[in-house]
Amino acid sequence: MGSFVGHVLPGMAFFILGLWHLFNHIKLHSRQSNSYTSSPWFPTTKLRYLELYFIMLGSSISISTELFIGPEKHHPFDVDGTIPSNHLRNFEHSLISMSFFVYAVFAIVLDRIGAEAKYGLTHLVGAIAFGQQLLIFRLHSTDHKGLEGQYHLLLQIFIAISLITTLMGIGLPRSFLVSFVRSLSIFFQGVWFIVMGFMLWTPGLIPKGCSIYNDDGHKIVRCDSEEALHRAKSLANILFSWFVVGLTIFAISLYLGLTEIPSKNVKYSPVAKEFEEIHEDSSDIESQKKSKLEGSKSLIHAERGFAPFDMER
């Protein structure tokens, strides 16, 4: 991950998955609002496990890149078989990818065997993957005092939201808001990974007073003074806040676009149903009036029929 490509490619994966979940949860809720039940993953018509295969493929590429393709010797170990300091982050990144790979595998297995607790267990394994991701970014061997550490700290906010909402999904499977927030947090993770790739490894976007240096084969951003570092972190916080506002606008607009606008085609159907009920009620009242009128007429005829008999007596 410690490169431009190492942040942009995982970011694209989170971006696609988050957008995919946002779209599907909104459409599912708009069609079945009363019987809505969230899903940890969504099958496709042609290939049921396409989403999970995508996660497995992306995780495999990430693990291979971190442990075998990226290192100069094509393995992360030292001559004596130990892990060198400059490859600790490779193992940390690969463990995150391995956690998501395990999640995808068990999601397929639980679905194929039709386990009764597959819904809760799939959410649990997903929560473990997010928990692993949060733990590693929290205890990352990369410098947490620099600018990259500030970007990672901001990323942890949405990783924590993904973890919490995934755990909440076990006990609240019918809550659309839990699924909506979880999907949005995954989507934002992808966006922020991509932003980190550009802001930390593009020389023209490095804040004033900071530069890119080579640290044991890894490029990192270092600032010349505390003032420059403080300014760079403040700019990262402002950028993060801008993206929070922008993605909030995007998420709500997407919801309105997928639910409110299509519903205009059928917005008169409830009114028509009410008119049908009113018409049925009015017809029932008229039939009741007719039956009462006929009853009164028969009563009058009966009285007229008995009148001569009374007079004769």
How many beta carbons lie within 10 A of that of residue 178, not counting itself?
21
pLDDT of 131-147, one tens digit each? Answer: 999 999 998 776 667 89
How many beta carbons lie within 10 A of that of residue 145, not counting itself?
9
Residues 63/97, Cβ–Cβ less than 8 Å: yes
Per-residue pLDDT, 277:
42
Confidence of residue 300 (pLDDT cuts 50, 70, 90): very low
283 CB contacts (<8 Å, ≥6 apart)? none
Residues 35/28, Cβ–Cβ less than 8 Å: no
* Boundaries of every domain in the chain: 4-266, 269-313
Helix (H/G/I), strand (E/B), else coil: 221? strand
Which two tokens mark 140? Answer: 């990352």
Mean pLDDT score of the chain: 84
pLDDT of 166-217, one tens digit each? Answer: 999 999 999 999 999 999 999 999 999 999 999 999 999 999 999 998 876 6
What residue type is assigned to position 120 of the chain?
G
The rounded distance, in Å, linking the Cα atoms of 70 and 12 is 19
CA 136 to each of CA 87, 90, 170, 256: distance values in angstroms, whole numbers, following the listed order: 14, 11, 24, 36
Confidence of residue 291 (pLDDT cuts 50, 70, 90): low
Per-residue pLDDT, 3:
80
Which two tokens mark 41? Answer: 């993953």
- Residue percentage of the chain with pLDDT more than 90: 62
Per-residue pLDDT, 218:
72
Residues 91/35, Cβ–Cβ less than 8 Å: no
CA 25 to each of CA 72, 174, 229, 275: distance values in angstroms, whole numbers, following the listed order: 43, 11, 41, 33
Name the DSSP letter for residue 218.
E
287-306 mean pLDDT: 48
User: How many residues can be counted in the chain?
Assistant: 313
DSSP β-bridge partners for residue 211:
222
What residue type is assigned to position 214 of the chain?
N
- According to DSSP H, which parts of the chain are helical? 4-31, 50-64, 88-113, 118-138, 147-171, 176-201, 226-263, 269-312
Q: Phi/psi at 143 (nearest 5 deg)? A: -60, 125
Confidence of residue 263 (pLDDT cuts 50, 70, 90): low
Give the residue among 169, 174, 189, 177 at the shortest CA–CA distance from 40: 169
Q: Phi/psi at 32 (nearest 5 deg)? A: -130, 60
231-251 mean pLDDT: 97
Residues 210/229, Cβ–Cβ less than 8 Å: yes
Q: Is the pLDDT of residue 219 over 60?
A: yes
The rounded distance, in Å, linking the Cα atoms of 263 and 251 is 18
Name the DSSP letter for residue 267.
T
144-171 mean pLDDT: 94
Which two tokens mark 268? Answer: 């008169």
Q: Is the pLDDT of residue 279 over 50?
A: no
Lowest mean pLDDT: which of 95-104, 164-173, 217-226?
217-226
Confidence of residue 78 (pLDDT cuts 50, 70, 90): confident
Q: Is the pLDDT of residue 14 over 60?
A: yes
Q: Of residues 273 and 126, which shows the higher confidence score?
A: 126
